Amino acid sequence: MRRKLFLLLILSLVLLVTAAAPPHAEASCSGDDCGCGIGSAECIAACLPGPDHRVCVHDCIQTAVHCALLCCGG
């Protein structure tokens, strides 16, 4: 249960960051158009058993943000 809540929180944060696209980006563009949120959730789920999961989660979030920026042309 705790793991699912953690994943939900992280996914919510990723979606919030990807939704904050640059002003010149198309209004309907989202990182989810390219699967950035799903990829990030899977990445984070793979991080949790590891000893350095915080660094891994941070890397997953950074990758998701980069994915969303590339997806939306930012």
**pLDDT digits 0-9 by tens, 7-66:** 777 777 777 666 665 555 445 777 777 888 888 888 888 887 767 888 998 999 999 889
For the full predicted model, state whether its pTM sits above 0.75: no
Give residue 22's pLDDT. Answer: 56
Question: Which of 1, 6, 5 minimizes the C-alpha distance to 61?
Answer: 6
Six-digit token string for 28: 């309907």
Six-digit token string for 30: 């989202």
Give residue 47's pLDDT. Answer: 86
Distance CA 28, CA 9 (A): 23
Distance CA 37, CA 18 (A): 8
Band (pLDDT 50/70/90 cuts) for residue 73 is confident
